[in-house]
């Protein structure tokens, strides 16, 4: 958390408030937030620079600036970007003041998030895989990328170099929707299974964006509201509950040290070989 739908929601809801505005004052409260430079370098590099556009790449939020540089943020597990909170709060790591009088607070309970100020965004996001909701992303591309990896398909979906933006929750939901066991090998899926998985990924992510993301832990939208995508989850975070399709008990297994939820009946462990 946050994953693609949450970061996309943050981008969409922040854009009207920040695009076209300049940074007027910046207070970085935790030096560990800054990656690849010093706190003072980031401050000097942002003050009086206008935000030309806001972009999401995978789980990263990118502020493109008027001087050609970019401020990149990764919220990691517990980060939030809050617009004009009443109080800065005990978990605040940075405060960004804008020329329209608004302020943006980077809050992060576990202090895992990072920011970069870069001349070229490829320095941070250049090795990421394709965006799963782009028009250029096709079933053939998904099949090509999965076929190169003899690892559990759940692990492949989490690998940001294979596909960008999918995290633990939405990988579980997409695999359930496609009726594919998470421990199946990525290079073992049939073309038909890849086609179904492709459609499931896009449907699950699209629906989650429509619901403004999932507030299952610390994620909140910029103005403090919750997302509601988790109300539609079928298996994610539902270990021990009944499958909504067949009534079997949803099981949990670890994949890359991440809790992975699936229905053993709807997602049988079977190979095409």
Q: What is the mean pLDDT of the chain?
A: 96
* Average confidence (pLDDT) over 85-101: 96
pLDDT score recorded for residue 222: 97
Q: Which CATH number fits domain 139-262: 1.10.8.100, 2.60.120.10, 1.10.8.50, 1.10.30.50?
A: 1.10.8.50
Structure tokens at 253: 């297994």
Please, which pLDDT band fits residue 256 given cuts at 50, 70 and 90?
confident
pLDDT of residue 217: 84
Q: Specify the pLDDT at position 111.
A: 96
Residue 49 a catalytic site member: no
Residue with the larger pLDDT of the pair 255 and 1: 255
Of 103, 111, 179, 258, catalytic = 258
In b/e form, how buried is each residue of 204-238, taking b as 16+ CB within 10 angstroms?
Answer: bbeebbebbbbbeebbbbbeeeebebbeebbbbbb
**Percent of the chain having pLDDT more than 90?**
95
pTM for this entry:
0.96
CATH code of 4-125, in short, is 3.20.190.10
Strand partners, 54: 63
| Residue ranges of domains in the chain | 4-125, 139-262
Domains 4-125 and 139-262 share a fold: no
* Alpha carbon 189 to its chain's center: 25
Residue 273 has pLDDT above 80, yes or no: no
- Higher pLDDT among residues 83 and 218, named by residue: 83
Q: Is residue 59 flagged as an active site residue?
A: yes
The whole-number pLDDT of residue 271 equals 59
| Count of residues making up the chain | 273
Q: Tell me if residue 182 is catalytic.
A: no
Active site residue 43: no
Residues 139/143/145/146 CA torsion (nearest 10 deg): 130
Q: What pLDDT sits at residue 15?
A: 98
Among residues 11, 56, 59, 93, the one annotated as catalytic is 59
């Amino acid at each position: 958390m946050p994953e693609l739908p949450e970061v996309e929601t943050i981008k969409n809801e922040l854009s009207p408030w920040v695009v076209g505005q300049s940074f007027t004052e910046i207070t970085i409260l935790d030096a560990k937030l800054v990656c690849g430079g010093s706190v003072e370098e980031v401050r000097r590099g942002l003050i009086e620079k206008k935000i030309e556009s806001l972009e999401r790449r995978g789980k990263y939020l990118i502020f493109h600036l008027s001087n050609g540089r970019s401020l990149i943020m990764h919220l990691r597990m517990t980060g939030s970007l809050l617009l004009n909170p009443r109080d800065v709060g005990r978990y605040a790591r940075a405060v960004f003041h804008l020329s329209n009088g608004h302020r943006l607070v980077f809050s992060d309970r576990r202090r895992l998030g990072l920011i970069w100020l870069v001349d070229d965004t490829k320095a941070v996001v250049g090795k990421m895989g394709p965006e799963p909701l782009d028009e250029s992303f096709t079933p053939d591309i998904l099949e090509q990328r999965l076929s190169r990896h003899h690892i559990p398909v759940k692990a492949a979906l989490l690998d940001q170099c294979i596909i960008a933006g999918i995290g633990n929750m939405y990988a579980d939901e997409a695999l359930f929707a496609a009726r594919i066991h998470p421990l199946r090998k990525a290079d073992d899926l049939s073309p038909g299974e890849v086609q179904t998985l492709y459609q499931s990924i896009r449907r699950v992510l699209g629906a989650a964006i429509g619901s403004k993301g999932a507030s299952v832990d610390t994620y909140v939208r910029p103005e403090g509201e919750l997302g509601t995508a988790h109300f539609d989850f079928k298996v994610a975070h539902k270990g021990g509950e009944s499958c909504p399709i067949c009534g079997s008990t949803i099981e949990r297994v670890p994949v890359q040290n991440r809790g992975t939820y699936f229905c053993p009946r709807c997602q049988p462990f079977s190979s095409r070989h």
